[in-house]
Amino acid sequence: MLRPYLLRPADGHCFSPADSERKRRAELHSRRATPLSCGNRPGSNVRRKPKRQPGDVYDTAAYLLAIHRACDKAFPPEGELSPIELKKWRSERRWSPNRLRHTAATELRKRYGLEAAQVVLGHSMADVTQIYAERDMTKAAAVILEAG
């Protein structure tokens, strides 16, 4: 599934918002029911100078938005929900890339200690690392069992 994205030049990025937008528009065009002689043709209904255009690479905000859109598509709400219920529904089913960093930090802290996690994460102060890396409660439980 990822092979087409990986077969790119070594200095290029695997995923591109511009490529994704081209594919999205091509798919919309292929599903078009109206004949080309009627209505808008591809490229005829676009702004001359749009305020935003898809970039060559995903920045952190675009990456997060793409993940949230994929989560929304994978987990559509069941039935009609009020805006507040919909917001809660989405927050419970959305995933964010910072969870990877959080999980890695927690695992590093558990295996190698706080200082190692701090260095790997690039934090200048251990206080910041403690926010990312959760405490290892299994160590605390082992100490309590051993101490009695």
What pLDDT score does 31 carry?
92
Whether 27 contacts 59, CB under 8 Å: no
> Do 78 and 93 meet the contact criterion of CB atoms below 8 Å apart?
no
| First-to-last C-alpha distance (Å) of the chain | 53
Digit-coded pLDDT (tens) for 102-146 = 888 888 888 898 888 889 988 888 887 887 677 767 777 777 888
pLDDT at 84 over 90: yes
pLDDT for res 27: 92
Nearest to 69 by CA among 95, 50, 89: 95
Confidence category of residue 82, pLDDT binned at 50, 70, 90: very high
What's residue 85's pLDDT?
A: 92
| In the predicted structure, residue 147 carries a pLDDT above the cut 90 | no
**17 CB neighbour count, 10 Å cutoff:** 19
Q: What is the mean pLDDT of residues 59-75?
A: 89
Domain boundaries, the chain: 56-96, 98-147
105 near 129, Cβ under 8 Å?
Answer: yes
Q: How far is CA 127 from the centre of its chain?
A: 26
pLDDT number for residue 96: 87
